[in-house]
Amino acid sequence: MDAKTVGKQLKEELCLNPKNMGDVLPQEEIQKAMEFCEGYKAFLNAGKTEREASAYLVKILKEHGYEPFDYHKKYEAGAKVYYHNRSKALIMAVIGTQPIENGVNIIASHIDSPRLDLKPRPLYEEAQFGMFKTHYYGGIKKYQWTAIPLSLHGVVMTKDGKKVEVSIGEEAGDPVFCVTDLLPHLAADQMKRSLQEGIKGEELNVLVGSLPFKDDEVSERVKLNLIRLLNEKYGMTEADFMTAELEMVPSFPAKDLGLDRSMVGSYGQDDRVCAYTSFMASLECQAPKRTLVTVFADKEEIGSDGNTGLNSSFLRYFIADLAKPYGVEGRTVLSHSTCLSADVNAGFDPTFPEVSEKNNTAYLNYGVVISKYTGARGKSGTSDASAEFMGEVSRILNEDHVIWQIGELGRVDQGGGGTVAQYVANLNVDVVDVGVPVLSMHAPFEVTAKLDVYMTYRAFAAYAKSDR
């Protein structure tokens, strides 16, 4: 049978026919995707907080000849600069050959992830246990954070003004911590609570130690012993907790997931998967036509507020400073700029099909996801990309044979969410969300498919070199 029926022919020409990339990608490309994700896992393991993730990227930027941005300088085409905002957010830029007033290509991801922050006075003793009080950061299902190994990350400012970096629980042989949960035998009352209340915010207490300091003359000796240990290791006292930034994150490393190793399971893939893919694509983009500005923002998980979040002015100021030596206003540059808001979307979960609408949800292994809008209810809280810009982005991806799909975050009125897209759009920039579909988003162990990760990298690479 070589002749196609007319109907078959028409269907091929006119109808959408999404395919699993495992069926359509050549073996070499599948192999490349697997190899690409080795670097991705290393990044996930090295950067479990926005500070660590941005420091890891800055180190690589320096090795590749990127220089700290100097707003006095007029940069030539091909110049590579970076701006590390308060050690938590990062902008990298490659100056293009086109005049800056033509606008720039922006890719904006975020490198903060949901976690348990320590309260300013976290340490207490109860029933001869040393415990940390926490305040969760970002949208979490609290019950998921009990009875898993946690590690402690962050910075402590000592009285003499030194910044001490803390990391306990990542190295082989390191101790870890955990939030305890009730045994089922005694959980009859707890089990009657709603899932939302199963573990309450004030029950997210971390177990830190149990042995008392040997001295009958003092009280709270377990607590004293723990402060003594922290003092030995980091030179800190209890007062230093009040000014510190300390966070509990899952201590397990990123792993291949599945017998076929087709997926990555790890903490913090929202949104370090888009950070890594956009970083690699930008790093490999030599001498683009339009200046390429790649942003790794903080604070997205709590609404993008704060001076390291994209609802602040740091991106706007960076663009203005970049443009000034050419005699161009920042607003002129922004008004001609475009942006891919690089963030994950929910992938279809076979166990919970009822929250998605099957034709407009993203599927793992079906390619990079374009989300025209996010938000909730009647498109509240979204920038909603225009048809013109959607068309432009789709042409850029199609020209480079990037496999993409469309994705909406759940059924209408099921819930919703937002990204940094709206904040960049508010600067008069054309923006659309592009990223990787994820299962178990915001859980301590999130799931992505390696082919999607790789295709997202290819999408950012296509956009990075595009000049519309």
Q: Which one, 225 or 419, has the nearer CB to Mn ion?
A: 419
Three-class DSSP category at 164:
strand
Q: Which helix (H) or strand (E) holds 370?
A: strand 368-371
Cβ-based neighbour number of residue 107 at 10 Å:
27
Q: Which stretch binds Mn ion (CB under 5 A): 94-102, 221-229, 243-251, 267-275?
A: 267-275
- Interface positions, 149-188, toward Mn ion (CB under 5 A): none
- Interface positions, 371-430, toward Mn ion (CB under 5 A): none
For residue 338, report the phi and psi dihedrals to the nearest 5 degrees.
Answer: -125, 165
Q: If 0-12 CB within 10 Å is exposed, 13-18 middle and 19+ buried, where does residue 244 land?
A: buried
Q: Which one, 247 or 343, has the nearer CB to Mn ion?
A: 343
Q: Which one, 271 or 298, has the nearer CB to Mn ion?
A: 271
Q: How far is the CB of 457 from Mn ion (least distance, A)?
A: 17
Residues 6+ apart with CB under 8 A from 258: none
Q: Mask 218-257, x = binds Mn ion (CB under 5 A)?
A: ----------------------------------------
How many residues are present in the chain?
468
Closest by alpha carbon to 135, among 270, 269, 241, 273? 241
Q: If 0-12 CB within 10 Å is exposed, 13-18 middle and 19+ buried, where does residue 238 land?
A: middle
Q: Which one, 123 or 368, has the nearer CB to Mn ion?
A: 368
Q: How far is the CB of 441 from Mn ion (least distance, A)?
A: 6
Residue 339 to residue 464: CA distance in whole angstroms:
10
Q: Mask 109-148, x = binds Mn ion (CB under 5 A)?
A: ----------------------------------------
Q: Which stretch binds Mn ion (CB under 5 A): 54-62, 89-97, 167-175, 265-273?
A: 265-273
Q: Which one, 166 or 274, has the nearer CB to Mn ion?
A: 274
Question: What residue is closest to Mn ion based on CB?
Answer: 271
Q: Which helix (H) or strand (E) holds 349?
A: none
Q: How far is the CB of 438 from Mn ion (least distance, A)?
A: 9
Q: Which one, 301 or 392, has the nearer CB to Mn ion?
A: 301
Peptide bond into 70 cis (omega under 30): no
Q: Is 396 left (phi over 0), alpha (psi -120 to 50) or beta?
A: alpha
Q: Which one, 170 or 271, has the nearer CB to Mn ion?
A: 271
Q: How far is the CB of 303 from Mn ion (least distance, A)?
A: 11
Residues 6+ apart with CB under 8 A from 286: 78, 94
Q: Which one, 270 or 392, has the nearer CB to Mn ion?
A: 270
Binding footprint of Mn ion, residue count (CB under 5 A): 3
Q: Which stretch binds Mn ion (CB under 5 A): 80-88, 263-271, 374-382, 450-458?
A: 263-271
Q: Which one, 156 or 449, has the nearer CB to Mn ion?
A: 449
Asked if residues 260 and 436 have their Cβ atoms less than 8 Å apart, the reply is no
Residue 103 to residue 32: CA distance in whole angstroms:
33
Q: How far is the CB of 148 from Mn ion (least distance, A)?
A: 19
Residue 31 to residue 28: CA distance in whole angstroms:
5
Residue 83 forms beta bridges with which residues?
91
DSSP summary character for residue 213: P
For residue 339, report the phi and psi dihedrals to the nearest 5 degrees.
Answer: -150, 135
- Interface positions, 269-298, toward Mn ion (CB under 5 A): 270-271
Q: How far is the CB of 415 from Mn ion (least distance, A)?
A: 13
Residue 375 to residue 386: CA distance in whole angstroms:
15
Q: How far is the CB of 383 from Mn ion (least distance, A)?
A: 15
Q: How far is the CB of 196 from Mn ion (least distance, A)?
A: 18
Asked if 343 is part of the footprint of Mn ion (rule: CB under 5 A), the reply reads yes
Q: How far is the CB of 320 from Mn ion (least distance, A)?
A: 26
Q: Which stretch binds Mn ion (CB under 5 A): 90-98, 144-152, 229-237, 262-270?
A: 262-270
Q: How far is the CB of 271 from Mn ion (least distance, A)?
A: 4
Q: Which one, 430 or 433, has the nearer CB to Mn ion?
A: 433
Residue 124 to residue 208: CA distance in whole angstroms:
10
For residue 232, report the phi and psi dihedrals to the nearest 5 degrees.
Answer: -60, -45
Q: Which residues bind Mn ion (CB under 5 A)?
A: 270-271, 343
